[in-house]
Every structure is written in structure tokens, then in C-alpha cells.
Structure 1
């Protein structure tokens, strides 16, 4: 067999190019399963993952999601409630958690400026994929700029994120 000059390096470059495409594809799927929103200095980050073993055992599609709340503002905030809307692949409501449902995982975290709170929870949908969105009801415990805002409440948006199998 006769080799052409540069043939070996071309193969290496192709391997690297395909590896890069696989990484980009994985990143795109991760991005689709994630969301980030900032409301009044509270950054809400979400990422979901499909739980294959639980899905098989329960006969439905089970997803776990991780929520990170990061207080990037100057006010001390307290999570007092939540609201969720879970949609199936057809856009039909699979499940809801009504607005002002108390806390998250039995907690009402208080976040001073710079602090984070993270928790995991889960949901299931009968279709292979779905979408989830909602909000957290937050109370200003201590307002840095105007004490008259102490006790004020607002909804911290949770942008829609996809529930996708691998």
C-alpha cells in the first residue's frame, strides 16, 4: 500500500473534528435541558436529567432537576413559595404545583447577598419528553436601598427548560 503525503495527519484531524462535533452535540443537549433567569438580583439556574432506571420501573418518564438560587443582589431574600407547570410533549399540562405552594423540599431558605441555595427534585411525564417552567415567590427580608421595601414580595422567574431523554 502506498501512502500519500499528509494522509496520516488528515485522519488525525478528521478524528479530532468528529470528537469536537460530539462535544458540541452534548453541549447543545445540555443547554436545551437548562435555563437561567435573573429577577431582582436572584439568579435561578436549572438543569434536568432523565432517570432511565426509574422510568423503566415506573412505566413513565422520570426526570430529576437541580435548582440553584444565587442571590446576586444587595437585598436579603427568603423563598416563601413556588409554582410549577409541567407540560408533556404535546403541550398538554401533565402536572401543576399551584402558586404560593409553601417552600421547596420542606425548606424556606433565606439568602443574604452572595449566598446560594441548591436542591434536587423530580417529576414524571407520560410522553418521552416535556417542558417545565414556573416561579419562586420571594420576600425581601432586608432591603439594602430602601427599608420601606422590607417585606415586599416578587416572583422570581424560572424560564422554561426541557425534559429530554439522553
Structure 2
């Protein structure tokens, strides 16, 4: 698990290789990741947008950007958290992702960026 804290918002990430949805012979490797967003600040925050940078070990990269996460723009009260699971496919058996969330502090509508720490996506046989 990787973790980062930015302006009182803690992001934790766990990953899992999805063998049953992968097809290595066709260069399709599917991974899931679970994100936990914990509000350690004194103010309610809302996740407005996300931006991902996805890297394959063959040197290719792509960017994904859009509103919310998995169709939601959750409001996270102080001391509370929001978790979700999503997925990513790679054309190689290892790569990485990183990114950021655009958050809004509801007390004063201030927007700020929260870093999503870089995490690796690696098929289990590469770890031996």
C-alpha cells in the first residue's frame, strides 16, 4: 500500500492483478486499484475532478482526466473517508499510475490539488 497526505487529505492505494480479465497473449493486462480518501482536516471537502498519468513499461503513457471518481463527486466530512475501486489495463505486465484530485473546501469554496502517490501495477510472476 502507498500513502500520501496533501493539505489534510490522506490518499491510500492498494492494487491487485486481475488474471481472469487479462489476456497476456494479446498484450492485455488488467489491474484493479482501491483508493481510500481520508479527510484529516477540520473542514468538509468535495472531490471535483481527477487526473491520472498511466505508464506502461514499454515507455508508452497516457493521461485520463474527468469529473469525480466512478461517477461520484463525494463530500467527505472531517474524520471521515471515501473508498472506491476502479481498474486500468496495460499492454505490458508492469507499469505505474499517479495523479491528483481537484478538491474543494466547502467552508470557503477554496479549490486545491491533492496528490495521488505513484503506485506500481505488476503481475505477480514478475515479483519472483
Q: Same fold (TM over 0.5)?
A: yes
Which residue of the partner structure matches residue 13 of structure 2?
46
Q: Which runs of 5+ in 1 are unaligned?
A: 1-33, 143-149
1:134 partnered with 2:114: no
- Give the whole-Å Cα distance in 2 for the aligned partners of 1:162 and 1:45: 13
- Give the whole-Å Cα distance in 2 for the aligned partners of 1:89 and 1:73: 36
- Give the whole-Å Cα distance in 2 for the aligned partners of 1:76 and 1:128: 39
Contact 1:35–1:158, Cα closer than 8 Å, also in 2: no
What is the TM-score normalised by the length of structure 1?
0.71
What is the TM-score normalised by the length of structure 2?
0.91
Larger Rg: 1
Name the SS of the counterpart of 1:75 in structure 2.
coil
RCO greater where, 1 or 2, for CA within 8 Å and sep 6 or more? 2
Cα deviation for residue 163 of structure 1 reads: 0.2
Higher share in helix: 1
- Give the whole-Å Cα distance in 1 for the aligned partners of 2:24 and 2:32: 15
- Give the whole-Å Cα distance in 2 for the aligned partners of 1:52 and 1:138: 34
Q: Which runs of 5+ in 2 are unaligned?
A: none
Cα deviation for residue 92 of structure 1 reads: 2.3
Name the SS of the counterpart of 1:106 in structure 2.
coil
- Residue 62 to residue 113, structure 1, CA distance change in 2 (3 Å): same
After TM superposition, the structure 1 = structure 2 runs for residues 99-114 of structure 1, keeping only pairs within 5 Å, are: 101-114=66-79
- Residue 102 to residue 164, structure 1, CA distance change in 2 (3 Å): same
1:152 partnered with 2:117: no
